[in-house]
């Protein structure tokens, strides 16, 4: 079988308009390509989300290398601001433009191409599994979680897993992820008593209570960081009253905070801390404060060891750089995979992801395929 051109496959995927939750033809394309190469493919659709499970090799093989990625992309935004068709995969001066070029259709294409070439030329003593979702950029309720649920039900197992998210800040090979911070969003509603601004004693203004609580939360130092994580952060992301009148004290107002936390904390301990601060302000002000919390993921880490050494060695061999082992950035689907098996992340430079004119140098796509190919060779050696 002729080698798979990872850049051409990337372009074919870019031309599939798979804006979350639309499948757009991307998984259909991958399904056909992988099936032709001898992979057993199964669509694992759930809740209106399209997902693909593909395995080469014996089911339940004790030595199985897994890859996780997504073909869904964020909306293009103002299309008139693009200098190229967001779904055209236009190449100018060696750079491919399009939504998903960086995040992360190039990563999916590079690994699929590496895996197909590998099993075609040197069939390994083991198995390779690809879990590709169409729901990473959305709520992620029926994407990788659905694939992992399917694997549990079917007694499928990955020994280790590589997530192909873009991980490098500026130069190819400079960073890989061995964990991620947790993410928690807390929504507050403050309810007082509406009244005339000239007679504040007849009202109970919820705005000072909101300002006091937000100041207390944002000025608090959560921690100083840990061995593998930076210090946790809390950001006040919105404060709203919706009150256009200057002579009315509003009855209620709302605020939202987002916390990115390390392994000092858990979602539950932070929720308890927020509740204690909330209760104190409510008691002092007489304003009723309700809170709802959404935990997008807990912090986790895959301790440095065999898997990170394997990936780092391949990256160094192909780029000449020793990647930093990092836990920075937002969340990824690795937060789900880490419950299944050891997981690390490595992918492209992510400077243009989610931006207008998102792009990737074509040479980087080929380089990424070379890195993934070396990882597979070294793992099964």
Catalytic sites, residue numbers: 72, 136
Tokens of 49: 């989300």
Q: Residue 308, preceding bond cis, omega within 30 degrees?
A: no
- Compute CA distances 97 → 81, 94, 231, 350, 355, whole Å: 13, 10, 35, 14, 11
| HSE-up (13 A, CA, CB side) for residue 170 | 0
- Work out whether the CA dihedral 137, 322, 306, 127 comes out positive or negative: positive
Are the CB atoms for 308 and 325 separated by under 8 Å? yes
Cα(169)–Cα(20) distance, integer angstroms: 25
* Span between the terminal Cα atoms of the chain, in Å: 22
Query: In a 3-state reduction of DSSP, which class is residue 80?
Result: helix
Q: What region does 100 belong to: left with phi over 0, alpha with psi -120 to 50, or beta?
A: left
Query: What does the alpha-carbon distance between residue 318 and residue 171 come to, in Å, rounded to a whole number?
Result: 13
Closest CA to 364 of 98, 168, 161: 168
CA dihedral 264, 174, 96, 369 (to 10 degrees): -100
As a whole number of angstroms, the distance between CA 375 and CA 380 comes to 9
Of 13, 60, 46, 31, give the one whose Cα is nearest residue 130.
Answer: 31
Judged on CB neighbours under 10 Å (0-12, 13-18, 19+), 236 is middle
Distances (CA, A) of 69 to 74, 236, 368: 15, 31, 14
């Amino acid at each position: 079988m002729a080698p798979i051109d990872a850049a051409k496959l990337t372009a074919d995927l870019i031309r599939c308009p798979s804006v979350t939750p639309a499948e757009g033809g991307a998984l259909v394309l991958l399904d056909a390509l992988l099936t032709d190469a001898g992979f057993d493919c199964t669509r694992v659709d759930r809740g209106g989300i399209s997902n693909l499970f593909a395995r080469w090799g014996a089911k339940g093989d004790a030595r199985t290398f897994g890859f996780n990625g997504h073909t869904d992309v964020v909306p293009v935004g103002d299309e008139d601001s693009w200098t190229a068709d967001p779904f055209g995969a236009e190449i100018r001066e060696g750079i491919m433009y399009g939504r998903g070029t960086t995040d992360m259709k190039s990563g999916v294409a590079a690994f699929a191409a590496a895996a197909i070439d590998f099993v075609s030329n040197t069939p390994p003593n083991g198995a390779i599994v690809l879990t590709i979702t169409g729901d990473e950029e959305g709520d992620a309720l029926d994407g990788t979680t659905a694939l992992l649920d399917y694997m549990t039900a079917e007694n499928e197992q990955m020994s280790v897993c590589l997530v192909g998210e873009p991980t490098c800040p500026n130069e190819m090979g400079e960073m890989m992820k061995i964990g991620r911070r947790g993410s928690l969003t807390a929504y507050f509603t403050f309810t007082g008593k509406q009244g005339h601004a000239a007679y504040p004693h007849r009202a109970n203004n919820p705005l000072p209570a909101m300002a006091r609580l937000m100041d207390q939360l944002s000025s608090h130092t959560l921690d100083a960081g840990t061995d593998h994580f930076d210090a946790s952060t809390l950001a006040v992301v919105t404060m709203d009253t919706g009150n256009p009148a200057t002579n009315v004290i509003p009855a209620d107002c709302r605020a939202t905070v987002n916390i990115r936390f390390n392994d000092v904390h858990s979602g539950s301990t932070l929720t308890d801390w927020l509740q204690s601060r909330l209760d104190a302000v409510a008691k002092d002000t007489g304003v009723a404060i309700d809170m709802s919390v959404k935990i997008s993921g807990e912090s986790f880490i895959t301790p440095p060891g065999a898997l990170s050494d394997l990936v780092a060695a391949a990256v160094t061999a192909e780029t000449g750089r020793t990647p930093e082992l990092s836990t920075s950035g937002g969340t990824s689907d690795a937060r789900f995979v880490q419950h299944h098996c050891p997981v690390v992340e490595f992918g492209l430079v992510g400077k243009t992801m989610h931006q207008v004119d998102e792009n990737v140098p074509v040479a980087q796509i080929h380089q990424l395929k070379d890195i993934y190919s070396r990882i597979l060779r070294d793992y099964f050696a």
